Amino acid sequence: MHTRPCLAIAVLWLALLAQAVAQTRLDKPQLVSTEWLASRLNDPNLRIVDARGSMPAYLQEHIPNAIFLHVETLRLSRGGVPGQLMPAERLAEIFGGMGISPDHEVVVYSSTEDAFASATYVALALISIGHQRVGVLDGGFEKWKAENRPLTNKIPQFEPRAYPPRPDTSLFRTLEWIKQHLDSPESVQLLDARAPQQYQAGHIPTAQNLFLREVLRPEGNISVWRNPDEIQAKLKHLGIDLQRTIVTYCNTGREASQLWFTLRYVLGIEAYLYDGSWVEWSAKGMPVER
């Protein structure tokens, strides 16, 4: 006689469980915690990318099932200007060769040493070919290791996948676009992600300097992202209007990707990336401000 109430409770419990599982899925680019990744570590639909940039370090130890990828694999010289992101078709071929398909969720991690810029650059490359199921590990490899989470030296084996790209060029702004808007600072704001010494030695006119490490909070030898209110306060201190377009740049786009990811996916504000960055700007003889 209690069958129906018990069945109803079971159905409700299953629905709540399904909802909880759905909430753990990556449906848009975002930061993910070490706790989240640990709970999904053996999920066959998850791909993990180690972007620390050191093959010896990767071979010694890495997060289980992580695939090694150096960011320079994703870049080329275009018109003589080095460090430019490859075309979408070639990026898709690289990611597909790693065993990543459009259906996979992907978590990328790198290191406090690079302020997680390598991880955000890989995320940028994925997002630029239409891949939205992307997470960047907050705290990176150091936080994972400090928490005594699993590590391995085993290299995972994944079958190559076909990856039809869906290029999203709207993420970027070009040199020509910057030139056209340079005399209209009210319509665009430039953020230079480089160290203050580099910025002071020469930068694109009107650009403000927000060193990429400033959006992180050090915790011993570990760094994590600051909370959104802290980051917004730093931007407002620079006179940045969060309601207007922001374009980030650095030397070759890698460090700028960290600010870009922070603005767009941590703060949720309109931000774009100038891929050519300072290397292209200075090579083309564009105006310089010191």
Q: Under a CB-based contact definition with an 8 Å cutoff, are residues 49 and 43 in contact?
A: no
95 with 214, same domain? no
Per mean pLDDT, which range of 19-23, 87-91, 133-137, 263-267 is the poorest? 19-23
Q: Under a CB-based contact definition with an 8 Å cutoff, are residues 114 and 53 in contact?
A: yes
35 with 130, same domain? yes
195 with 163, same domain? no
Residue among 121, 101, 104 at smallest CA distance from 53: 121
Q: Which of 168, 184, 213 is the last residue of a domain?
A: 168
pLDDT at residue 20, rounded to an integer:
42
Percentage, residues of the chain above pLDDT 70: 91
pLDDT at residue 9, rounded to an integer:
54
- Strand ranges, E, within the chain: 30-32, 46-50, 66-68, 75-78, 81-85, 105-109, 134-137, 189-192, 208-209, 216-219, 222-225, 246-249, 271-273
211 with 87, same domain? no
Which CATH number goes with the domain that contains 229? Answer: 3.40.250.10
268 with 181, same domain? yes
Amino acid (one-letter) located at 88: A
Cα–Cα distances (Å) from 111 to 52, 139, 153, 232, 256, in that order, read 6, 8, 17, 24, 16
Examine the pLDDT at 14 and tell me if it is beyond 80.
no
Q: What distance, in Å, lies between the first and last C-alpha atoms of the chain?
A: 82
33 with 164, same domain? yes
Expressed as residue numbers, the domain containing 218 is 172-283
- In this structure, is residue 188 part of a structural domain? yes
212 with 263, same domain? yes
- In this structure, is residue 192 part of a structural domain? yes
198 with 236, same domain? yes
Greatest C-alpha distance within the chain: 84
151 with 240, same domain? no
123 with 145, same domain? yes
Cβ atoms < 10 Å from Cβ of 31: 18
Give the model's confidence band at 4: pLDDT under 50 very low, under 70 low, under 90 confident, else very high: low
Sheet holding 208-209, edge to edge: 208-209, 189-192, 246-249, 271-273
- The Cα 32–Cα 206 span in angstroms is 34
- In this structure, is residue 182 part of a structural domain? yes
Beta bridge partners of 208: 191
- In this structure, is residue 3 part of a structural domain? no
Give the model's confidence band at 16: pLDDT under 50 very low, under 70 low, under 90 confident, else very high: very low
pTM metric for this prediction:
0.91
- In this structure, is residue 15 part of a structural domain? no
pLDDT digits (tens, 9 = 90+) for 36-53: 999 999 999 999 999 999
pLDDT digits (tens, 9 = 90+) for 71-120: 999 999 999 999 999 999 999 999 999 999 999 999 999 999 999 999 99
**179-201 mean pLDDT:** 90
pLDDT digits (tens, 9 = 90+) for 131-167: 999 999 999 999 999 999 999 999 999 999 999 999 9
pLDDT at residue 21, rounded to an integer:
41
- In this structure, is residue 145 part of a structural domain? yes
99 with 132, same domain? yes
- The Cα 41–Cα 33 span in angstroms is 12
Examine the pLDDT at 11 and tell me if it is beyond 50.
no
Please give the tally of structural domains in the chain: 2
Examine the pLDDT at 1 and tell me if it is beyond 60.
no
213 with 111, same domain? no
- In this structure, is residue 290 part of a structural domain? no
Give the model's confidence band at 19: pLDDT under 50 very low, under 70 low, under 90 confident, else very high: very low
